Amino acid sequence: MNAVNVRPLAYLIIGVAACGSPRLRDARDIAASLATDVGPRLAGSPGDHAAVAWAERTMRELGLSNVHTEPVMVPVWRRGVEKAELVESHQGLAVTALGWSGPTPEEGIVADVVEVGSLEALAQMPKDAVAGKIVFANVVMPRTDDGHGYGKTVPVRLFGPKAAMDAGAAAFVVRSLSTSTDHDPHAGSTALREVANPIAAGALATADADLLHATLARGAPVKMKLVLRPERGPDAPSANVVGEVPGAKKPDEVVLLGAHLDSWDLARGAIDDGAGCGIVLQAARVIAARHRPSRTVRVVLFAAEENSVAGAKAYAAVHAPEVDKIILAMEADSGTDRARYVKLLGDPAKAAAFERIAHGLERLGIARADGDARPGTDVAPLVALGVPTIEVRQDATRYFDIHHSALDTPDKLDADALAQVSSAFAEIALGVADLDGDLGRVPEAKRKAE
Amino acid sequence: MNAVNVRPLAYLIIGVAACGSPRLRDARDIAASLATDVGPRLAGSPGDHAAVAWAERTMRELGLSNVHTEPVMVPVWRRGVEKAELVESHQGLAVTALGWSGPTPEEGIVADVVEVGSLEALAQMPKDAVAGKIVFANVVMPRTDDGHGYGKTVPVRLFGPKAAMDAGAAAFVVRSLSTSTDHDPHAGSTALREVANPIAAGALATADADLLHATLARGAPVKMKLVLRPERGPDAPSANVVGEVPGAKKPDEVVLLGAHLDSWDLARGAIDDGAGCGIVLQAARVIAARHRPSRTVRVVLFAAEENSVAGAKAYAAVHAPEVDKIILAMEADSGTDRARYVKLLGDPAKAAAFERIAHGLERLGIARADGDARPGTDVAPLVALGVPTIEVRQDATRYFDIHHSALDTPDKLDADALAQVSSAFAEIALGVADLDGDLGRVPEAKRKAE
């Protein structure tokens, strides 16, 4: 990566106060409106439907064209009563059910807790040490600036429940994947969706994971009472919401800017992913107000990223026939902090065009990094079909303090940083939309979904 | 106040690793044990009874003498179901009932919200603007280093509910008295205890108070559904817990070090007031292990500070006959940060003795400040009877980020700062216990309870 230390003032010109709406001045305002006026919006919930209506209304207000919804059926999982308590000391623990957790009986379960430090440790436990117990996976997520601490620990949440179930555990609780010590559990999905009659799986707030660890360290057996009563519903209608800045010369060729409209039910979704919605909508608004791109710039706000990626999968399936016309697909789903560098995943033979565009980002304090871009979750199905992507890597140092928790509220939004990121999206989108050539296709060997 | 900038190393010698118990090495360990092994302990609850047992056991373990409980009846108020929602947007708000709140009907109440910025503004509202509404008192607590931001805003929580009730409001919610923006409501008491059939009164998390404010700022009426189902119970037994370092020469004369054993039910009570318990217990332990004070040094861990001050009031009433033998009463109830200065409230003619003792604290980085000490809540009933007090003022800058909320967990404890404060308590207690004279009595004009 090239180190770049230019003082980034230029984005203020392009990113802030660019356009008319006094209600929504910038990317932050757009994100704050979604988090405030809609709030939590898990796929298939009333909040999800309100979010779809918000997105259509807001796209029109921001001056986009061809605003429409593309219906998609999403799987439904709803949180119910949730409660955890240490039986001996009567102390409550802050717990939340993980996505696709099964339910405990209504009265809950009471069982001894067994602590494990990794998936590997769980796999090596003798069966009788786990059978009938509540497995407590206590893995501390490291704070990193590029999010790889999440990549390192998320398998425990995704695959721990099934591993515990296979070992005969009565239930599974994970230390919340969070880089802060707080009293809010952090939600998240698991691989239990395809499992019949899954066990109950929850996340404990990090402060309460510490309490449980300290209590177990006393050496005596510790019993937990756990009540988690989530339920599945039939698939429900939702929608990807689409708006465009039509291309002046090649309107059927598309630069796609994506973010996801849904959020976990515990969160207002200000940073995840109100921020991303704000970034791509503001970028498109600035292009619509000031430019006439050769190709179409299309914003897609995807449905159901958090619980199933159903929206993005449906989008790629429906649009597969014209996928060669999608010249680039980018995604904003990394929170509210400043962009540090950009990477390309496309045809290496056409990297020079990307390098020219990236060079223009240096005045925003954004470097060009070597190595392949990591496709975002919602553009990954398109990348799997060969569509190139450019990754705008934001600083993730603070992102996982509040990710997927009730702490994800509008006060966390950083207007200045969001303006910088939004400007980068606008410049890249415009640069690629106006390219004489294109970025080619992703080589077969590098296409893989998710 | 004299500025003192001596590097405080000396307290390490007196405050840390002074004594035997490997389980509880210092003030932090003592506080963490109370918060971890007992946890929440509102007056009259099972946690309260566990705390009394913990205190007796711990005092003996730390080498105190004459360990005993002094029974006291405490008033009982229990939290029930609590839920708040914005009706139009279906958004939940994090709410908690304030102490002595009345209940809503089981199905809750639904009413328009009216926002006020102060008690004065509430008093000036026309009655028909308040009658039948939910009053939302949105006062932002300022961050200050001496806690006066709390003093400035706490009347809104204490007296707002009754004022709203008198104006015909259906219910009252206050912005949590917190200096942070978080998603945890901060509990606290109100003046509703003496009121018949009080209205429901709750505190909203600051992030959700911001949400409600932003929603009201759109201009349209906003309806809230509020369910708060607390209940009162009959008075229940609890106890002040007492332990001593007996005086070698004048055992019937006492230097009293107090803290409170109870906590709000939402909190583990690590900083409020596990920290204070740790400070005074560690101070007494060090004196017991290393010194033979002339007078008795007595630790009192008071019951029910949070909901009624019942323990301290009973203590002063029961011990009024021998109150002239209580030479000094001090209290630790200001969290986990370093002490900055000390103040006296006693006989001004005997201030020279205090000044000598205070001079010895300079090497801990603690100055002597002019002006009268502010009696702590639990020693105030003794001060009202003439007992002198010395205030050890700790830095309160961060205290109200977590005060009275579920955020009050052991990870917040600062071992180094608690060792400094505990050393100051030990030195003052020892200095006064060994004084040839005494600190006299508080002049009549300056005695006032609470």
Looking at residue B23, its pLDDT comes to: 84
- Asked if the model's pLDDT at residue B450 lies above 60, the reply is no
Q: Taking CB atoms and an 8 Å limit, are A183 and B181 in contact across chains?
A: no
Region A137-155: mean pLDDT is 93
Q: How far apart are the C-alpha atoms of A449 and A221, rounded to whole Å?
A: 44
Query: Per-residue DSSP letters for B297-308?
Result: EEEEEES-TTTT
- Mean pLDDT, residues B10-31: 68
pTM of the entire structure?
0.87
Residue B36 has its nearest CB partner, among A40, A50, A214, at A214
Nearest partner of B308 among B235, B373, B257, B400, judged by Cα = B235
Q: What is the tens place of the pLDDT at every residue in B108-162?
A: 999 999 999 999 999 999 989 999 999 999 999 999 998 899 999 999 999 999 9
DSSP conformation class of B38? I
As a whole-number percent, the residues of chain B with pLDDT over 70 amount to 95
> Which residue numbers of A have CB closer than 8 Å to B's CBs?
32, 36-40, 46-47, 50, 89-92, 94, 181-184, 207-208, 210-211, 214-215, 218, 268, 405-407, 409-411
Q: Is the confidence at residue B235, as pLDDT, over 80?
A: yes
Nearest C-alpha neighbor of B98 from the set B135, B126, B50, B127? B135
- Structure tokens given for B367: 């100055």
Taking 90 as the threshold, does the pLDDT of residue B210 lie above it?
Answer: yes
Q: Max Cα separation, chain A?
A: 73
pLDDT tens, residue by residue, B81-97? 999 999 998 899 999 99
Tell whether the model's pLDDT for residue A16 goes beyond 50: no
> Strand pairing of A134-137 and A109-116?
parallel
Could A211 and B94 be called an inter-chain contact, meaning their C-beta atoms sit closer than 8 Å? no
The answer to whether residue A14 scores a pLDDT higher than 90 is no
For residue B20, the model assigns a pLDDT of 55
pLDDT value at residue B22: 72
Average pLDDT over residues B277-281: 98
**Closest C-alpha to A258, from A245, A241, A235, A237:** A241
pLDDT score for B89? 87
Radius of gyration (C-alpha) of chain B in whole angstroms = 22
A208 CB neighbours in chain B (<8 A) are 409
Q: What pLDDT is stored for residue A20 in this prediction? A: 56
pLDDT (tens digit per residue) in B333-380: 999 999 999 999 999 999 999 999 999 999 999 999 999 999 999 999
Distance from CA of B186 to the nearest CA of A (A): 13
Question: Taking CB atoms and an 8 Å limit, are A406 and B268 in contact across chains?
Answer: no
* The pLDDT of residue B21: 63
User: What mean pLDDT, rounded, does chain B reach?
Assistant: 93
Cα distances (Å, whole numbers) of residue A281 to A51, A344, A419, B403: 14, 22, 11, 40
**How many beta-carbon pairs under 8 angstroms link A with B?**
81
pLDDT attached to residue A15? 43
Chain A contact set for B46 (CB, 8 A): 90
Among chain B residues, CA nearest to A36: B211
> CA of B193 to nearest chain A CA: how many angstroms apart?
27
Cβ within 8 Å, pair B210-A183: no
- The answer to whether the Cβ–Cβ distance between A405 and B40 falls below 8 Å is no
Q: Between chains, do A407 and B214 touch, taking CB under 8 Å as contact? A: no
Q: What is the pLDDT of residue A12?
A: 37
ipTM over 0.90: no
Query: Kind and range of the H or E element at B404?
Result: none
Judged against a pLDDT cut of 60, whether residue A3 lies above it is answered with no
Q: Looking at residues A246-263, what average pLDDT do you find? A: 98
Residue B448: the pLDDT is: 78
Question: Is the separation of the CB atoms in B37 and A89 below 8 Å?
Answer: yes
Give me the percent of chain A exceeding a pLDDT of 70: 95
Which is nearest to A271 in space by CA: A282, A259, A283? A259
Structure tokens at B296: 């008795």
pLDDT at B272 over 60: yes
Contacts of A218 in chain B (CB under 8 A): 37
Average pLDDT over residues B207-213: 96
Name which of B91, B93, B218, B401 to mutate to probe chain A: the one with the most chain A Cβ atoms within 10 A of its Cβ. Answer: B91
